[in-house]
Amino acid sequence: MSKLAEIKANVEAGKTKVVPGLVQEALDAGFDAKEILAAMVDAMSVVGDKFSAGEIFVPEMLIAGKAMQKGVDVLSPVLAGDKSASLGKCIIGTVKGDLHDIGKNLVALMIGSTGFEMIDLGVDVSKETFVEAIKENPDTNIVALSALLSTTMPSMKETVAAIRESGLTGFKIIVGGAPITQEFADEIGADAYAPDAGGAAIKVKELVS
C-alpha cells in the first residue's frame, strides 16, 4: 500500500495513535503537505458516506475525526508557513448548533498563514458571541463562519443578520462549509464564500486589499 493510501486507511479506521507517525513519515519521504491533507479529506468523505449508508455510527465518525485532527496537527507547522505579513484580524467560529471543527480549524490555519491574527471562538458559537467578539475587537477586518450541517445553515443566516443588525462595520463576512454554496452566501448577505481552506485564504486576501 502506498504511504498516502496507508494514511487514508488509518484515518478512516480512526487510528489516532498511528496517523501522526504516518503523516510525519510521509513528510520525511518528501510528500507535499497538501497531498497528505487531500488523502485525509478523502478518508473523511468515505467515513461520511459510510455513515449515510448506516454502515458506521457517530462514535466511528468521531474517532475518525480525531485521527484526522492528529494528522493535521503534524501538518500544521508546514501548512502555516511564513506569518510575517500583517493583513489584519480575523474572527472565526462554527455557528450555533454545529460541533464540526476540523474544516474550520484548517481554514483558521490557512487564513492565519497568510498573515492574519486569528481569534477562534470554537464551535457552537451563538450570534450574540460573534457580535460581542467583534465589539471587543474593533480592528477586526474578517469574520469567518463555518457550518457543516444543513440544519445549521439557518443558524449561519441568523448570525449574518445579527452581525449586520448590530450596526458594526469595517469588516467583511466570509462563509463556508460542506453544505454552503455561493448562492446561499449571496442569499444570506455574506460578502464572500470559498469552498475550501486554500480558497478561503485567497479570498480573504482579496477582501482586504
The residues that touch ligand B12, with contacts defined as CB under 6 A, are: 41, 44-45, 47-48, 51-52, 58, 61-62, 65, 97-104, 106-107, 144-146, 148-151, 174-179, 194, 196-197, 200
Is 28 or 147 the residue whose CB approaches ligand B12 more closely? 147
Pair 19, 57: CB distance under 8 Å? no
Nearer to ligand B12, 87 or 178 (CB): 178
Q: Which is nearer to ligand B12, 144 or 160 (CB)?
A: 144
- DSSP letter for 181, please: -
For residue 15, the one-letter residue type is K
Minimum CB separation of residue 203 from ligand B12 in Å reads 7
C-alpha span between 136 and 21 (Å, rounded): 40
At closest approach, how far in Å is the CB of 30 from ligand B12? Answer: 23
Alpha helices by DSSP H, listed for the chain, are: 3-12, 19-28, 33-52, 58-80, 102-113, 127-136, 153-165, 182-187, 197-208
Q: Which is nearer to ligand B12, 21 or 97 (CB)?
A: 97
CB 161, min distance to ligand B12, A: 17
CA distance 91 to 130: 8
